A and B are shown apart, each in its own frame.
Chain A
Amino acid sequence: MTTVLLVDDERLVLRSLEKTLLRAGFDVLTALDCKSGREVFAQNKGQVDIAILDLNMPGFDGLPKAGAGLDLLVDLKQQQASLPVVILTAYDEVNKARDAVSGGASAFFVKGREQGLVELIQKILGGQG
């Protein structure tokens, strides 16, 4: 079973994505900010196949931070360089996508176009396999 780590500070976003991913047959681990995201990842070391991270959410100090998702991306990549990561954001902005890619993200996914998210995850993981 493929396990997805989903980190987003918006409770309803987190839950609706979680349900969609569960329905698609994934195992889903969730967290509401960078700090708890890192903890959940550490607690499930070696089990997470892909991480979906919100771009703007509370950082490791618990305070809201623009681009905090990129900090968590770097942190998770340091722990597991091969981990595929999708950055999830409401901002449709090329520079942020570029930052995400340079941080090692596999994809940059804009909220509102999320119907293709399941396919994207499958594609990324399939490409890896």
Chain B
Amino acid sequence: MTPAERQTHLLKTAARTAKMITMILDPQELLQRTVDVICDEFKFYYAGVFLLNVTGQYAVLRAGRGESGAAMIAEGHKLLVGGNSMIGSCVQNRQARIALDVGAEAVRFENPHLPNTRSEMALPLIVGDEVIGALTVQSEQEAAFLDDDISALQTMADQLAIAIHNSNLHRRNQDLIRQTERRTRLLEAANVVGREVTSILALDELLPGTVNIICEAYGFYYAGVFLLDDKGDYAVLRAGYGEAGKAMLAEGYRLKVGPGSMIGAAISFGEARIALDVEEERVHFKNPHLPHTRSEMALPLIFGHRVLGAVTVQSVEERAFSQDDITTLLTMAEHLAVAISNAYTLESLKEAHAELLRTKVFEALTTATTEAIHWIGNKTLPISMTVARLREEIAEGKVDLASLGEDLDMIAESADQITQVKEQLIGAVREQRPRPVLLADAIEAAVHQRGLSADLLSMQIDPSAAYAVADSTQLVRALGNLLQNSGEAGAKSVRVVATPSEERGMLRLLIVDDGMGMPAETLEKAWSPFFSTRGHQGLGLPASLHVISQAQGRITLNSEMGKGSKVEIHLPLARVSEDGFSSNGVASVLLVDDNDEWAAAFSALLEGAGVKVTRQTALDGLPAADLVLVDEHCSAVGVDAALAALDQAGLTAKTVVLTAALNPERVTRYLRSGVRDVQPKPYTAAEIAALLQ
């Protein structure tokens, strides 16, 4: 290679190397590639890069060619700046040193790892005014370095210095990014605690959640939350991270408030305590459950002027807490203190509420008991007094038959009222069979059953609120109680309105009367069992409340003296499909019923299934049919009269009595008359199909 060709090659190599090293950001890779490229491209025996240590006292070998380089790095090879080595001298003087024949170079260090070196060059690595290290290049040939080599290699050294500087900057940037990311994560953790503060009011959930977040987001060894006991003497551990936390909670770990521990001191003085090296912190308590703690922070939990407890955060690293950690943990502790204070407030509210509930229950029981005593006294007095008088009359042989008749009536009436109580109580405990119930039909049945005038009633039922989910027998009983109350209050009209409720899946049923209403003090007691202003058993409203509640509904009563009463009932809404069904061989049905809403809906479904339906209330000229259905609550014709007429027409065996409210006495009576069956009124296609079977 001619000198000119060598010069060109060197410059090209220097340029290529410079380009390559500027693209490498990992510092170790950068240094190692540089020494390899120098040796490969320039065919030198050895190259190495030294960088100054933190104090600037030594040049430390950071990368070296081949096994010799690796061995020296492993030994921690370093040279004193200003010492008698070429590198030490080069760094000290900021100048290249060249020993073309090393034997003649006084300052060269005899290196056993590089025995063949005959020429050596040391080039300073300078960025701006700062020397950051030096590059050594060694050859097995004496006088190996030409001026051109020196120039080209110094150019490369300058590039390398800049690249090292860039790499350091890159590393610092990476550290800053990591710090920023950590800060973001910490802020997110603080936010999570902040959010939970507003959503979790149960301390047993909030405190363990908080210690988990602290340890997981910050990567700390341990966190725990202490709360002051009632007397304020001890900080009691309420949540602790991991197995150590579990063990301490199990043993009821607590610390005395005062300077004996970091937690005790933080609570006592109301100030954060931070021990970056716990061995140096006088007040630190050596905890056998947490043997690896090297840094600890105790943050008081303060709300207003009240110290509620403290949080401990511990790390296995010395000086573990950055300013970011401290700032965000202090914020978190402030949030936590608010949450704990809220939880305490909620607990006292709950206690107050429980106390109020106990008082109310006691009052309700007292009212019910008092009313029951009053009621029983009034119902039994006529019996006992009349019986005593009759005994005297019999003993004296002076029995007046007219008086005796009245006495027996009084006994019978009192006994009947007592029996009605039994009926109401049975109703409340009877098993419920919820199903879709046509409201209009249940109301008509209730009116009929209680012997109320149909003229009293006006109904407005929104088609989309026509069916409720309830036990029809119980619903008829509850509605009967309410309508009877209206009747007894002297109502001239009772308006029943059903509409879909604002509450999803519910309907609203209003029963509004223009009766005498009731005063506020009566209204207060209206739901109490045995309370009555009308001399009966006083169980109507409580029984209705029970039935509606069992149907997953609710009921309220408003009343104004002289203006009337309004009952509002919310019941689950039933959706009834109009799917077709098989008539099961039934071709004709005679329906003895009024032309009411149920009869119309029922007839339409039957006709849809191809069944011929004849509905009538006239009892003469009853047509033959495969099946005869009699509505028990038909107002135009009594069920007994209808059954008698059907008997005469020879249709009894084909007759089924339908009722909205099953009653065992009446069912028995109808069956004894020879009818085929007594069935609950069908309200859905599926129930009609079952009936036709």
Contacts and interface: CB of A to CB of B under 8 A. Distances in A.
Given A16-B382, A64-B522, A11 B377 contact: no
Interface stretch (B21-29, B102-110, B406-414, B456-464): B406-414
A111 B384 CA distance: 10
Interface in B372-426: 373-382, 384-386, 388-389, 392-393, 403, 406-407, 410, 413-414
Given A111-B381, A112-B381, A10 B535 contact: yes
Interface in B585-635: none
B637 to A, nearest CB: 35
A12 B393 contact: no
Interface string A6-24: 0001111101110110010
Nearest to A54: B378
B403 A19 contact: yes
A53 to B, nearest CB: 14
Nearest to A64: B533
A12 B382 contact: yes
Interface residues of A, number: 23
Contacts of A92: 373
Interface in A73-128: 89-92, 110-112, 114-115
B378 A111 contact: yes
B381 A63 contact: no
B370 interface: yes
Given A12-B382, A63-B522, A115-B388, A90 B374 contact: yes
Contacts of B381: 10, 12-13, 16-17, 111-112, 114
A71 B49 CA distance: 114
Nearest to A19: B389
Interface string B521-538: 010000000000101000
A30 interface: no
B385 A10 contact: no
Kindly name the residue among B377, B379, B386, B414 whose own CB sees the greatest number of chain A CB atoms within 10 A: B377
Contacts of B385: 16-17, 20, 114-115
B519 interface: yes
A46 B230 CA distance: 72
Contacts of A56: 374
A81 B385 CA distance: 30
A13 B384 CA distance: 10
Contacts of B374: 56, 89-91
Interface in B15-34: none
A112 B535 contact: no
A12 B533 contact: no
Interface residues of B, number: 29
Given A16-B381, A111-B381, A23 B535 contact: no
A12 B410 contact: yes
B382 A15 contact: yes
Contacts of A15: 382, 406, 410
B388 A90 contact: no
A21 to B, nearest CB: 10
A112 B127 CA distance: 115
A115 B380 CA distance: 12
Contact of A23 (B370, B389, B413): B389
B221 to A, nearest CB: 68
Contacts of B378: 10, 12-13, 90, 111
A122 to B, nearest CB: 15
Contacts of A13: 378, 381-382
Given A19-B403, A91-B370, A12 B389 contact: no
A90 B519 CA distance: 23
Contact of A114 (B384, B403, B533, B561): B384
Interface in A2-43: 9-13, 15-17, 19-20, 23
Nearest to A10: B378
Nearest to B531: A64
Contact of A115 (B384, B407, B535): B384
Contacts of B519: 63
Contact of B386 (A9, A19, A91, A111): A19
Interface of B: 370, 373-382, 384-386, 388-389, 392-393, 403, 406-407, 410, 413-414, 519, 522, 533, 535, 561
What 7 A-B pairs have minimum CB-CB distances, sorted nearest first? A90-B377, A111-B377, A12-B382, A16-B382, A90-B374, A64-B533, A16-B385
8 contacts: A12-B381, A16-B407, A16-B410, A23-B392, A90-B373, A90-B375, A112-B384, A115-B384
Interface of A: 9-13, 15-17, 19-20, 23, 56, 63-64, 89-92, 110-112, 114-115
